[in-house]
Structure 1
Amino acid sequence: MSDEIPAARKKPTLAHRLEYALFRVMEGVLSLASLGTAARAGSLLGLAAWALSPKHRRLVTRNLRIATATEPPDDVTLRRMVRETFVRAGANMIGSQRAATLPPDELRKHIQYEGMEHVLEPVRQGRGVVLVWAHMGNWEVLAQLVREVGDDIRGGPIYRALDNPLLDELTVKRRSQQGAFLFNKHDGFLGPLAFVRDGGVLTVMTDQRAGGHGELCPFFGRLSSCTPLPALVARRTGAAMVTLSITTVGTGQWKLKVRPVPDKAKTPVVIRHLETAMKDQLTDVFWFHDRWRVDTMMPLCFYTKDSPTEAAREAAAPTRFFATLPKGCPEAVAMITTLLELRPDVRIDVMDPGDLPPLPEDPRIVRYPWDPETPEGHLEGFLERCDASHPVPLDFALLLDGNARFARAAKAIGLRSIIGIGPSGKPFTRSFPRPADIEGWRDLAAKLVLTKKARKE
């Protein structure tokens, strides 16, 4: 259990009260409109955000490039998907806020269902159900799904308390009045386990980063730390598992589609089924969180108890970075080869000034020609072209020659991690002294992939 105090117990600040007041005013205004009108207004807000926020355009573009890497769309289609993601996010968010205050019978008119038998059958058999879903569509309509199963069925989510205690209290109160059972993620899992054993329908948001507590497996082909919770709960309780997608089928209209997940499925299988659900409409997915971000200090490490090497062999989409090599130091190639051994899923774009030392003949190493006389002002555009040369975007920079010009250009294009040898300080996120021999270069590679405990093992 976490020592963090749940948001509902925190004393609200003035900022919280102002935010709450603004929310209730907006809610009151929306209550004057139909759900369709609210969704249309949200679409316009989403379109405005697309036009005014290049930062979020880059983030959504990055996420969609990774999600579609195994079947990449052309540039025109990708840009259309990015724009549509903003529009649908606005419609879904404002639509959710309006749906929260609609009577259940009225909300039912805006929802279509498919695959409900996959929830109904186990419930009728007295089994609990673990419902696996993602940040997708109008989240508020999910409460309607359990009502479709039956008034005597208990359902509810594992949720993260809102930062604003007043909004959190309002949300919990409304969900409880609707018959939902809410389980704070910081309160442990004994409650959810008992709930499912007793035949409840537990919804688990499964598309989030799980950090060091997760299980490593591909997510849209990219090695990721994924929550093992759905598989764990189902295994311990004998519950059925299903996935859910929520897609837009018209203005103010959504479709909930349920699919079965095989009994006793392990986390990688659960994640593949979740991908299938999300692919029902990728532009309905909320791609505004940096799901695949790398760590600034150890960009190839997940901080999990297990080494990522074996899991990385299953990845179909690479983790990608560009590298520079120090002139007259062939020993540095040992770091490249060691990274390929520890993380078989990487693709390394090596900047080639024409005098590189011999590199392994490996398709994961790509020589990218560049002229050392290139003016620094042109390097940003150069790296953007390098980034665009593969469906998967660049994740970080590994500057083994301590090239500060490339470091500044890497920061300019938004790379989260910039690792350097020699120079320290900004824009480098981490710097190391230059190794003295081949073993030193190999050890340095391990420091970017493995935790200290894993390196000792």
Structure 2
Amino acid sequence: MSGEKVRRRHKGPRWWRRLRYMIEYAALRFVGFVMRLLPMDTASGFMGWCWRMMAPRLRRHPRALAHLALAYPEKSAAERERIALAMWTNLGRVFAESFFVERLLASGRIEDRVAPLLETLKSSHRGIVFVSAHYGNWELAITPTMTAGIKAAGVYQRVKNDYVEALLMALRRERYPRGLFAKGTDIARRLMRVAREGGAVAMLADLRDRGGLPVPFFGRLAPSTNFPAALCRSTDAALVAARVIRVKGARFIIEAEVIQVPRTDDRDADIAETTRRIQSKFEGWIREYPDHWMWAHRRWG
């Protein structure tokens, strides 16, 4: 096949993909515009209802139910269905609330129970590595650092759509004054420097990591990122697990706990044990509020 024919073959798909990305971006901007016209509670509740109605018709709903069956074999199918529907409601609310973060921060709707812990850690002049999960409204988990005057860097999962990527970056950038870094890039040295300088690094650590360590999670081995553990072990930074509990509508409680990082002569064993402790903490929190976690992603592979 000639080079000219190859170029024609690929020109169409690339052109269509770019058009699709632009349509997705325009739709997202339009939805955000409409959401901001509504009262925050109305927007959050409406989008939660929409996701609850639509999600059971999508392929990710059976996957969520299958994961719930693995995690909760003792529960009935009806109980697992209720958890899944409540999960979709929460995810819809999180989507809507992403357009209201600044209003949420100024509204008094967030009860910050992390402040005393952060003041103690701040006075120690150690770096801090925050880990959280896709739990409650995880986008708010970093907000206590802003109140405490701790400058944080964030790690995020890049999306395929460049236009949407830029919008999400704009929505999040102010909460991460030390920068936002995409997974998969060469960021280890930069984040290590942030931690060693007494800054904070924040990341979600509950997704499947194909190159991670297999550690127990709801009774099965799940490939999990060891980066937070390795970062703490290498820099003497404190490891803090944080969660955001949705208490009523668009109202939240933020809690956090220090996870002890073992520091023995066996660095690899220390990292593996710390990774296990992180996932164990997440599992305990999820068992407390199972509808707060995102069951539809491929956590176990």
The TM-score by the shorter chain falls in which range?
0.7 to 0.9
TM-score under structure 2 normalisation? 0.83
Deviation at 1:243, TM superposition (A): 1.0
Give the corresponding residue for 1:170: 167
Give the corresponding residue for 2:239: 241
Tell which structure's C-alpha radius of gyration is larger.
1
**Change over 3 Å in CA distance of 1:75–1:246 after alignment to 2:** same
Conserved 8 A contact 1:244-1:277? no
Deviation at 1:101, TM superposition (A): 5.5
> In 1, distance between residues paired with 2:143 and 2:189?
26
Structure 1: gaps spanning 5 or more residues: 1-9, 294-457
List per-residue Cα deviations over 1:384-427 (Å, max 9, x = no partner): xxxxxxxxxxxxxxxxxxxxxxxxxxxxxxxxxxxxxxxxxxxx
Matches within 5 A, 1:151-170: 153-170=150-167
> In 2, distance between residues paired with 1:194 and 1:35?
38
Matches within 5 A, 1:129-148: 129-148=128-147
> In 2, distance between residues paired with 1:282 and 1:185?
27
Q: Could you tell me which of 75, 89, 92 is aligned with 2:91? A: 89
Alignment of 1:228 onto 2:226:
yes
Letter in 1 for 2:236: G
Structure 1 counterpart SS, 2:247:
strand
Q: Could you tell me which of 181, 196, 200 is aligned with 1:183? A: 181
> In 2, distance between residues paired with 1:37 and 1:113?
24
Structure 2 counterpart SS, 1:39:
helix
> In 2, distance between residues paired with 1:247 and 1:230?
22
Conserved 8 A contact 2:132-2:141? no
Conserved 8 A contact 2:223-2:300? no
Deviation at 1:52, TM superposition (A): 2.7
How many matched pairs?
275
Conserved 8 A contact 1:119-1:129? no
**Change over 3 Å in CA distance of 1:237–1:56 after alignment to 2:** same
Alignment of 1:99 onto 2:100:
yes
Deviation at 1:160, TM superposition (A): 1.9
Give the corresponding residue for 2:110: 111
> In 1, distance between residues paired with 2:84 and 2:165?
30
Give the corresponding residue for 2:10: none
Conserved 8 A contact 2:261-2:274? no
Structure 1 counterpart SS, 2:103:
coil
> In 2, distance between residues paired with 1:237 and 1:149?
21
Give the corresponding residue for 2:63: 59
> In 1, distance between residues paired with 2:72 and 2:144?
29
Q: What CA RMSD, in Å, does the superposition of the two structures yield over aligned residues?
A: 2.3
Conserved 8 A contact 1:92-1:138? yes
> In 2, distance between residues paired with 1:273 and 1:201?
20
Alignment of 1:271 onto 2:279:
yes
**Change over 3 Å in CA distance of 1:88–1:171 after alignment to 2:** closer
Matches within 5 A, 1:292-371: 292-293=300-301
Structure 2 counterpart SS, 1:218:
strand
**Change over 3 Å in CA distance of 1:67–1:43 after alignment to 2:** same
Q: Which structure has more helix as a fraction of its residues?
A: 2
> In 1, distance between residues paired with 2:219 and 2:60?
23
- Quote the sequence identity (%): 22
> In 2, distance between residues paired with 1:116 and 1:101?
19
Conserved 8 A contact 1:116-1:258? no
Once the two structures are overlaid, the 10-residue window that deviates more, 168-177 or 284-293, is 168-177
Give the corresponding residue for 1:256: 254
Structure 2: gaps spanning 5 or more residues: 1-13, 263-272
Deviation at 1:156, TM superposition (A): 2.6
Give the corresponding residue for 1:287: 295
Structure 2 counterpart SS, 1:161:
coil
> In 1, distance between residues paired with 2:51 and 2:199?
36
Conserved 8 A contact 1:57-1:82? yes
List per-residue Cα deviations over 1:63-85 (Å, max 9, x = no partner): 2222335xx32333222212211
Deviation at 1:103, TM superposition (A): 7.0
Letter in 2 for 1:167: V
Give the corresponding residue for 1:149: 148
> In 1, distance between residues paired with 2:175 and 2:112?
20
Letter in 1 for 2:87: T
Letter in 2 for 1:268: R
